[in-house]
Amino acid sequence: MLSAQDNELLTRVGPGTPMGELLRRYWTPALLISEVPTPDSDPVRVRLLGEDLVAFRDTNGRVGLIQENCPHRGASLYFGRNEECGLRCPYHGWKFDADGACVDMPSEPPNSVFKDKVTAKAYPTHESGGIVWTYMGPADKMTPFRDFGTESLEPDQVAATKLNTPCNWVQAMEGNLDTSHISWLHQWDGVDDIPDDGSDKPGYPSNAMSWKFWRHDRAPRLEIEDTWYGFKYVGIRDTPNGHKHVRMSAFCFPYNTVIASVPFSTGHGLFVPIDDHNTWRYSFSTRVNPGLQEVGGTNLFALSPFEFGPAEVGRNGIIPRRYTAENDYGIDRAEQRNVTYSGVREFISQDFMVTESMGPIYDRTQERLGTSDKAIIRMRRLLMAAAKSVAEGGEPPAVAPDLDYRSIRSAEKILEPGEDWRVLGTSDDPMVQKYDAGNSRVPVAGS
Ligand code: FES
Ligand SMILES: [Fe+2]
């Protein structure tokens, strides 16, 4: 439970709010590169942290991100003409470049110097991993761009998507950091019938067996370790054969999650606030994501009644939502009674159903937290403490240039007797070493 005051502190992101000012100290996804694909392509509306902006790729290929409303009399520059290295307002022809400078003011006399006094608010941009990132904080406090593994990707390895979820970013992120719900929300009855494929033993289970473990032990024990980037934690479950199965996920300031995967993962899910009531859920590929290829075993996707992954991705990289609150997320009550726990067929819509149904900003004075909510509690505390610290002149966490942001990994494994979960996903983990050896393009710091 949070006080009403803390709930406001945690969730509000507009300019001048403590959390909004904390988030503005990190490079933030503003849009997908595929939304502004070519020089002089169509401008795009961008609402980010409660600010209305417009993005455009200029004639030289630079991406500008400037205030949406024209500094003259406020017409939307979204309707502007993207031409000759600038965005020209449709109303009176004032033109702004990617830095927000007014470079032409044709409605004023030719000898006027007024244009030199007019600027549009503009934020710097950096393209990486299929995403246009921006920094919206004070210029003199600009932090370095953090390379989570996207900077050295080959063009054919770049993949980024985003999905809209109409609720506050914190409750959306809480859904991703909540390991206990996979024993419930994402279950179906046939899991019990999946035959043991032999991977219920120390080592890496098949994904199908993981699903069995989630269902077998539905009250995981959580252990957390604070790290330089935030924290990592495990949900510990007993397997049918009496082993300890752990799912380890990571939280990285301010809205990054790296979710457990067999054998480990470096893929991020980012919960980027559009405003207080709406969120973009971004994901991007990184240098290594071993995924299923390492483990084999029973093919979960052939057995499951769920629809996984996007059925389609728009040409601009945005995944359309087929199931929303308007159609009750496609819930089928007969299926809920007889086949699946949720009655919702599309996997990610199961998550959206629960996090969006809390309302635009959940009133956390009403909640009752248990031991399985430990990771969520830690995330909230870290974020609120960092927001307060920055408001008092402190530095935001996890922005230093000498940190290896590529080393943030999740993992999933059945532990050997005596094995410490804290080693999983680190450069001391033999599985990580094996992949890094085969991925010499990007050396791991310290190795
Ligand atoms: S409102 Fe944009 S040029 Fe006048
Ligand atoms: Fe989920």
Average the pLDDT over 371-391 and give the result.
98
Instruction: Decide which of 2.60.40, 3.90.380, 1.10.3210, 1.25.40 is the CATH code for 160-437.
Output: 3.90.380
Digit-coded pLDDT (tens) for 403-431 = 999 999 999 999 999 999 999 999 999 99
Residues 6+ apart with CB under 8 A from 416: 202, 203
Question: If you average pLDDT over every residue of the chain, what do you get?
Answer: 93
Digit-coded pLDDT (tens) for 156-166 = 888 899 999 99
Q: CA-CA distance, 361 to 101, in Å (whole number)?
A: 37
Q: CA-CA distance, 1 to 6, in Å (whole number)?
A: 10
Distance 96 CA to ligand 2 centre (A): 43
Note the pLDDT of residue 290: 61
Q: CA-CA distance, 419 to 345, in Å (whole number)?
A: 37
Digit-coded pLDDT (tens) for 312-343 = 777 788 888 999 999 999 999 999 999 999 99
CATH dotted code for 28-134: 2.102.10.10
Band of pLDDT at residue 172, cut at 50, 70 and 90: very high
Note the pLDDT of residue 443: 35
- Whether the per-residue pLDDT at 73 is higher than 70: the answer is yes
Note the pLDDT of residue 286: 85
Ligand whose nearest atom lies closest to the CA of 176: 2
- Whether the per-residue pLDDT at 33 is higher than 90: the answer is yes
Q: Which residue did the predictor score with more confidence, 154 or 6?
A: 6
Distance 123 CA to ligand 2 centre (A): 34
- Whether the per-residue pLDDT at 213 is higher than 60: the answer is yes
Q: Give the ligand 1 atom nearest the CA of 89.
A: 2
Note the pLDDT of residue 317: 81
Residue pair 280/29 in contact by the 8 Å Cβ criterion? yes
Give nearest CA residue, ligand 1 atom 4.
92
Q: Where are the domains of the chain?
A: 28-134, 160-437
Distance 118 CA to ligand 1 centre (A): 12
Digit-coded pLDDT (tens) for 142-157 = 999 999 999 988 888 8
Give nearest CA residue, ligand 1 atom 3.
92
Mutate which of 78, 91, 112 for ligand 1 pocket (most atoms within 8 A of beta carbon):
91
Provide the sign of the torsion angle of the four alpha carbons 113, 116, 118, 120, taken in this order: positive
Digit-coded pLDDT (tens) for 255-265 = 999 999 999 99
- Whether the per-residue pLDDT at 292 is higher than 80: the answer is no
Note the pLDDT of residue 58: 98
Note the pLDDT of residue 308: 84
Q: Which residue did the predictor score with more confidence, 300 or 191?
A: 191
For 176, the token pair is: 């991703």
Ligand whose nearest atom lies closest to the CA of 214: 2
Q: Give the ligand 1 atom nearest the CA of 92.
A: 3
Residues 6+ apart with CB under 8 A from 237: 183, 213, 214, 216, 217, 220, 244, 245, 246, 247
Residue with tokens 């979820």: 165
Mutate which of 54, 66, 70 for ligand 1 pocket (most atoms within 8 A of beta carbon):
70
Band of pLDDT at residue 446, cut at 50, 70 and 90: very low
Ligand whose nearest atom lies closest to the CA of 353: 2
- Whether the per-residue pLDDT at 447 is higher than 60: the answer is no
Omega of the bond leading into 273 within 30 degrees of 0 (cis): no
Note the pLDDT of residue 296: 65
Mutate which of 67, 77, 92, 112 for ligand 1 pocket (most atoms within 8 A of beta carbon):
92
- Whether the per-residue pLDDT at 438 is higher than 70: the answer is no
- Whether the per-residue pLDDT at 51 is higher than 70: the answer is yes
Ligand 1 binding pocket (C-beta < 6 A) is: 70, 72-75, 89, 91-92, 94
Note the pLDDT of residue 155: 86
What string of DSSP letters covers 267-311? -EEEEEEEETTEEEEEEE--S---GGGGT--S-HHHH--SBPS-S
| Residue 119, CA distances (Å) to 95, 106, 152, 374 in order | 10, 15, 34, 47
Digit-coded pLDDT (tens) for 228-254 = 999 999 999 999 999 999 999 999 999
- Stated as kind and residue range, the H or E segment containing 245 is strand 244-252
For 37, the token pair is: 């694909």
